[in-house]
Structure 1
């Protein structure tokens, strides 16, 4: 059940969801600029959004699907990063 619009809980939930939306946009910019920092930011954004949307899941299915896609993308990227061998250091060994 969603809090009433304009109520204190409604304003708090709206603020949290706004923060999640801004973090999702930041995640998109970081992905487009090939910055690896998108993973933790995307994870945080999806988790915040899920926390806000779950109480209204019956009317927020599309948002939950987007959040699930973001979580899957983060999981795949983290798994790929752990599989990729690290290149040798530029300075060599001593």
Structure 2
């Protein structure tokens, strides 16, 4: 059974709390800039473990010190609570990265 898509109000409340996230192409979107590739890849490694444990995986890519993340729930064809939860966990991981720019 697919999860319920988030309402516009729920999405705006999330963005108000996590203001670096945006809506882009119907997905939650965030760009992280780290000091170097090692920090960026370390963040991705930690986030991958979190994503795997929740069985909810990001669309993302990395170029040097930049990590771009898009979150959506494919089976629901939109943003759901799973996306909010993964985004919030990614923010916690990014905050733990001491040298995040």
More relative contact order, 1 or 2 (CA 8 Å, 6+ apart): 2
Same fold flag (TM > 0.5) = no
Of Structure 1 and Structure 2, the greater helix share is in 1
TM norm structure 2: 0.30
Q: Look at both structures and tell me which one has the larger radius of gyration over its CA atoms.
A: 1
TM norm structure 1: 0.32
